[in-house]
Amino acid sequence: MTTPERTPLHLTRRPRRARTTAAMRSLTAETELRPRNLIQVLFVRDGIQEPQPIASMPGQFQHTMTTVLDEVQKAIDAGVACIDLFGVPRDEDKDESGSAAWASDGVLNRAIAAIREKFGDQIVIMADTCLDEFTSHGHCGPLTEDPFGNTVVDNDASVAAYCAMALAQAQAGAHVVSPSGMMDGQVAAIRATLDEAGFQDVAIMAYSAKYASAFFGPFRDAVGSSLQGDRKSYQQDPGNGREGVLEAHLDIEEGADFVMVKPAMAYLDVVRQVADFSPVLVAAYQVSGEYAMIEAAAANGWVDRERIVLESLTGIKRAGADMILTYYATEVAGWLN
C-alpha cells in the first residue's frame, strides 16, 4: 500500500503547540497541585505500643501517641499545611453517648494536645468532630425512638454532643474543628459554643455534602467502627446533587469557614457546583475506598501508581477543590518537591 500524500492543513488553531515540550506543558498548565493544598489524614489509637497496619488500606496505620508525632513532622518537612486527626478509642471506652469524645483524657484530645505542644503553629491541626468512633453502636450521635418506635439518631442531642466535643478539641489546641455527622444546625451551634468560650479564632471545616457512600468501607476498618445498620437517614443519598449544594449553602450561612464534599471521585460534579458559588474555600476528601482501589490496582501492576495518584488528585483540584484531604498528602508533597 502506498502512503497517502501529506497535505498541509491550514489551521488557525493548533492546540498541540501548547504541548510540545515539558517546559511548554508546565507553562500552560491550568491546574497545579501544591503541597499546601493537601491535608494529611492520620489515625491515632489508644492502648497500642506499636503502629497497627490497616489491612484494607495498605501503607496506612493506626498510630501511637509517639509515632503520630513522627508523621506530623514528616508532613511539615514535606510542606503539607494541615493534618486531619481521627481518634480510635479502646472498646471499653465506648458508650452509648460517645462521651470519650469530649473527655480531656480521651485519645483524640490527648493527641491534639501533644501535637500542639510539640509543633505549635507550624502546621494546622484539624480534628474530626464526630461521635461514630466513640459510640458503642457506631452511629454519629446518641440514639432515640421516633413517634413510631423506630430507632433513629437524635439530631439535637447529637448537636449538643458535638458542641462539647468541639470545645474539648479547641481547649486541647485544635486550630480547626470539622463536624462530619451531617446533623442539621451543627455548624451554627458549634460556632456559638466556641465563640462564647473565647475560641473565636478556631475555624470550622463543615462536612457539608457527605454522602452515604460505599467508598467509606475501609475507613470503618481504620477506626474500628462498631456500626450497626447504616447512616442513610442522616448522610445524603448518592443520587442527590442539589441537596449537596443546599447543605453547603446552609453551612456557609451558619458560619462555616470552609465547606467539604465527601467522597471526592464520584462527586466531582458536586465539588464543581459548590465551588462555583461558595464564598469560602472548598475542600474535597479522597476517601478510604478511593485510596484502597488505587493501591489494589497498583499492587497488581494494572496502573502506574504515581501517575494515577497524581492524576486523581489533579482531577479533584480541577473540579474546584481548594484543599484535598488525602492519605497520600505527605507522600505526594515529597514527589512535588
Check 74, 94, 118, 210 and give the catalytic one.
210
Q: Is 210 a catalytic residue?
A: yes
**202 with 177: CB under 8 angstroms?**
yes
Of 277, 268, 274, whose CA–CA distance to 314 is shortest?
A: 268
Q: Are 126 and 174 in contact (CB under 8 A)?
A: yes
Cis peptide, bond prior to residue 238, ω within 30 of zero: no
Distance CA 168, CA 23 (A): 49
Tell which phi-psi region holds residue 255, choosing left (phi > 0), alpha (psi between -120 and 50) or beta: left
Quick one: which H or E segment has residue 114?
helix 107-119
Q: Which amino acid is at 238?
A: P
Report the alpha-carbon distance of residue 62 to residue 52 in Å, rounded: 5
Question: Residue with C-alpha cell 457506631?
Answer: 138
Judge whether 212 and 236 are in contact, CB under 8 Å: yes
With 0-12 / 13-18 / 19 or more C-beta atoms within 10 angstroms meaning exposed / middle / buried, residue 39 is buried
SS3 271: helix
Alpha-helix residue ranges (DSSP H) falling in 232-304: 241-254, 268-277, 288-299
Catalytic-labelled residue, pool 74, 118, 232, 262: 262
Q: Is 262 a catalytic residue?
A: yes
Cβ–Cβ < 8 Å for 223, 229: no
C-alpha atoms less than 13 angstroms from C-alpha of 229 in its C-beta half-sphere: 16
Q: Which residue has the cell 457539608?
A: 208
- Contact between 46 and 87 (Cβ < 8 Å): yes
CA distance 9 to 269: 37
Catalytic residues: 210, 262
